[in-house]
Amino acid sequence: MDEVEQSRVEAMTAKVQPVRTGAGDGGEDRNAPSPPTDGLPGGDLGMATAEYAVATLAAVGFAGLLFAVLRSGEVQELLLELVRRALSTV
């Protein structure tokens, strides 16, 4: 690992000590560290979640289409013939 990568890892894993607001008020952290943004503007912070959601929906749609194609009579007949040929050559 080179020096730049090492310093970046150290910066990302540095422990920040939270400042407690005091007794009786829930003890929330006033100065809790924010998640690293990797240089992204503040508005793009949740984009990875949205991208995963779109990719998941696309995968489900493709799986549904594949299921519909494989359930069709012509494709089932083709696959059955392919299996028969493979088993007859053994």
Tens digit of pLDDT for each residue in 1-54?
678 777 777 776 766 555 555 555 555 555 666 655 556 555 566 668 888 999
Exposure class string for 74-85: b at 16+ Cβ within 10 A, else e:
eeeeeeeeeeee
- When divided into structural domains, the chain yields a total of 1
Tens digit of pLDDT for each residue in 54-83?
999 999 999 999 999 999 999 999 999 999
Paired with 20 in beta bridges are: 29
- pLDDT value, residue 50: 84
- Residue 36 belongs to what domain range? 3-88
**pTM, to two decimals:** 0.41
- pLDDT value, residue 47: 67
